[in-house]
Amino acid sequence: MAPILLSSIMPPASTLRTMASIRRKRRRRELLYKLLDDILRTMNSKPSSSSSSSKHPVYDSISSSHLRLSIPSTTAGQLGLEHHPTRTALAKLLENPTVWQAATKMTFESELRLRPPKLKGGSALQKTRHDHVSRIAKSWPLRCTKLRAPKGLQNPMNYCYRRSVMQSLLHLPQLLHWIDGHNQGQNACAFATPSTASGGSPGGKHVAKTAPKSSQCLACAMKAFVPLYWDPQNPHAEVPQSAVTSFDKVVRASPVVRESSLGMETQEDAEQFLSVLLNAFESSTATPAWSAQFASLFRLQATNTDTCACGTVTHPTTGAETTLRLHPNGRKDTIAAAFRRHFAPTQLEKRCAACSGPGKNGQLPPSRVHTRTQTVDAGPELLVVQLTIYDDYGNIINNGTKFDDFLDLTKYQTAKDLPLKYKLSSVVCHQGRRIDGGHYVAHVSGPQRTHIISDKVVRKTSPPSLTNVVQIVPGMGRFTPYLLFYVKIA
């Protein structure tokens, strides 16, 4: 395979801010893919092409402005692609000079190193995060755009809580691109090194001795699962059962899962599964670059500011969560109001270094009233909002809260000079009396349209229904939105 880079085809994502231009971009992309197909078909029908020509050529977007096209056995020059009529049509369509370049390993890597547009404004953390993720494409991988509908996932156990989370993750293009980079180049799989300990690793006691350690890696498992899920060659409405079974096996073997309290036979909370899965993805590669990318994709970094009555300000550290927990109050409430309450100032008592003074008679120094405000230092590319619809014991107490397609968190930031806006991608919905019981379904936005998926059953929906407070699945009844998956758009 000699990869060929198509440069200057896609405008950088940062120039595509408005919804109108996003639609134009999609149209351009569709036309481009059609033309690429045409070129590839012509090449494959040439007698000079290699015996592997029956294999479908591989092409995929590798960043927001580049497409990688891998052509079997030979180079573009030898194929005479420079004068191909479709190429002329392509160039005309895009009104942009298209560079065809037979890539060597060196040119390929230098293309990848092309500088992404710098962030204008923002904090140091926002700039660093931007640099870490700006090369991870936000567009749908080509293979996904070729499918009319997503695929169902069989559920032989009570794994609907896993299936609904998987469906939502499989509908996040940036995650698909990112996970594809696992165990490639610098991002070596942490499980790939052979175990030298005679007794095996602590997490591997139930795994057969002959099994490779990568069989415990959920990032490897996800990377292998993506092409089987988004497989345009598979005409069936379901992913092959063997692929689903293999993934379940890795969940069972993963040391991260085993260290968690996630049950293997019982129904669990979908949010718990999501957290464990993301943890496993993060620890799958032990490099700072991988962790930095993970944080940029999934972690909401916030700062607490505590102000004492005397005016002294302190900033106690806060954790960077992968799920933002909101506490809505039912039907009459809105997610916007829940966000206002979430970021509203709170009062707390603690000692103040400036005005508490020393403790008298061996007592601790007295506490002072402080006002605490929390602000967002950097929002993740992929934001998961959990609507806590249950009480401390897991009993459902909330029948849904109004939420929107778009989410604007700009005013909750520490530095407000850059916007922080999101668009809804998927909703995991729950039905039943307990959060670790009942049934889970996923309502997802694909490259073409929206679908609601209950295990292996996939149904078309219309986009406005994605934000319904009560989600109806024909034949199954009413479901309550529980996890909202948002994608950063600005």
Q: Which residues bind Zn ion (CB under 5 A)?
A: 183, 189, 217, 219-220, 284, 308, 310, 312, 352, 354-355, 368
Kindly tell me the sign of the dihedral angle through the C-alpha atoms of 440, 445, 447, 449.
positive
Residue whose CB is less far from Zn ion, 75 or 371: 371
- Please tell me the distance from the alpha carbon of residue 30 to that of residue 186, in angstroms, as a whole number: 33
Give whichever of 212 and 330 is closer to Zn ion, judged by the CB atom: 212
Q: Residue 355 or 415: which CB sits closer to Zn ion? A: 355
Find the DSSP H helices in 152-266.
160-169, 173-180, 218-229, 241-253, 255-259
Q: Chain-centre distance of CA 262, in angstroms?
A: 21
Shortest distance, position 453 Cβ to Zn ion, whole Å: 26
- Smallest separation (angstroms) from Zn ion to the CB of 190: 7
Closest distance of CB 361 from Zn ion, Å: 21
Which uninterrupted H or E stretch holds 346?
strand 346-350
User: In the complex, what is the shortest distance from the CB of residue 192 to Zn ion, in angstroms, rounded to a whole number?
Assistant: 6
Q: How far is the CB of 218 from Zn ion (least distance, A)?
A: 8
Rounded to 5 degrees, φ, ψ at 36 are -60, -40
User: Which residue, 36 or 175, is less far from Zn ion as judged by CB?
Assistant: 175
We find the least distance from the C-beta atom of residue 287 to Zn ion, in angstroms, to be 12
**Six-digit token string for 82:** 């420079």
Distances (CA, A) of 313 to 234, 373, 453: 60, 11, 49
Report whether 256 contacts 321 (CB < 8 A).
no
Residue nearer to Zn ion on the CB measure, 118 or 315: 315
Question: Rounded to the nearest whole angstrom, what is the least distance from the CB of residue 366 to Zn ion in the complex?
Answer: 10
Tokens 């009529």, residue located: 85
The CA-based diameter of the chain, rounded to the nearest angstrom, is: 96
Of 327 and 368, the one with the shorter C-beta distance to Zn ion is 368
Q: Which alpha helices (H) appear in 6-119, and where do they start and end?
A: 19-45, 76-79, 85-94, 105-112
8 Å CB contact between 189 and 219: yes
- d(CA 423, CA 437) in angstroms, rounded, equals 29
Q: Which is nearer to Zn ion, 313 or 397 (CB)?
A: 313
